[in-house]
A and B are shown apart, each in its own frame.
Chain A
């Protein structure tokens, strides 16, 4: 209902591939053809092709395309170094920058009629969040060794039975809050746009929501990246 026309699904259907009618299909092929999967691949393809086209060969004096990417990548690098320090930022830059670009493009793509945001499905956002969550534990264990357990034990030994469940619960809450915030914001944007298109699309009713949608998309991508950076920094430092 939310997405009256999804052009990749239509093309795949014409090619004879099964398109699931619910949010997730039965069987492997149908699951691979679900809209959030096909549009994820579309986003990946878009990023790779645009990157290749604009950065075909690097030059000392940058042209238009290279200038744009230098500003984007340089800005992100400055931001990470400011928050995480040089070492950690260098180690994790490829991962977090990929997340930032992917989430930003995936959010914005839903504003074009005929497209859908892959991040408006809980599957995509939960997958991203699980990667971040596991990585921040790996960083903590690599940086602190066995002393990483102290992160979960509270300030003094007497309080361990009380603090251990509390710390574990608030750690798992990160998993839930990070994924559901991104999913909720983008799904709300998509649903609102779809409903407004159906009700009064001919009178440009969705336009104000689209302006807000651009803002929400960029802000949510930035918030996701900022929280990722904060979690990585927290697990990297020594326990108090």
Chain B
């Protein structure tokens, strides 16, 4: 394998999943919030856990971006 394509694969592996990881984190956070609201607390707390989960999901998305930058600095 030539050096160029090796570097290309590394870049693809490190940065190709940025978008997907960000979106997946938000979906999982908000999904967890909705599950807590509707299934665990039977709609008594309706909007709140959804919003809290959404906030945590967005925070987790940004944290995964931060991790990717940190990992790149280390290499």
A170 within 8 A of B: yes
Q: Are the CB atoms of B13 and A226 closer together than 8 Å?
A: yes
Inter-chain CA distance A173–B60, complex, in Å, is 9
User: Chain A contact residues: over half helix, strand or loop, or mixed?
Assistant: helix
Indicate if the CB atoms of B12 and A219 lie closer than 8 Å: yes
Is A208's beta carbon under 8 Å from chain B?
no
Known contacts being A166-B59, A180-B20, is A172 close to B28, with CB within 8 Å? yes
**Contact in complex: A173, B64 (CB < 8 Å):** yes
* Residue A181 at the chain B interface, CB threshold 8 Å: yes
A177-B56 CB under 8 A given contacts A170-B25, A219-B9, A226-B13: no
Is A180 a contact partner of B63 (Cβ separation < 8 A)? no
Interface flag for B1 (CB, 8 Å) = yes
Interface bin, chain A: 20 to 34
- Select from chain A the residue with minimum beta-carbon distance to B32: A169
Instruction: Point out the residues of chain A lying under 8 angstroms from B20, CB to CB.
Output: 177, 180-181
Per the 8 Å Cβ criterion, residues 1-27 of B in contact with A are: 1, 9-10, 12-14, 16-17, 20-21, 23-25, 27
A177 and B21 contact, CB distance less than 8 A: yes
- What are the residues of chain B within 8 A of A201 when measuring CB–CB? none
Q: Which of B17, B59, B63 contacts A181 (CB 8 A)?
A: B17
A176 CB–B CB distance under 8 Å: yes
A169 to B62, CA, bound (A): 11
Residues from 146 to 200 in A contacting B, C-beta threshold 8 Å: 162, 165-167, 169-170, 172-174, 176-178, 180-181
3 closest cross-chain pairs (CB), A and B = A226-B13, A169-B60, A176-B24
Identify the A interface with B (CB < 8 A). 75, 162, 165-167, 169-170, 172-174, 176-178, 180-181, 219, 222-223, 226-227, 230
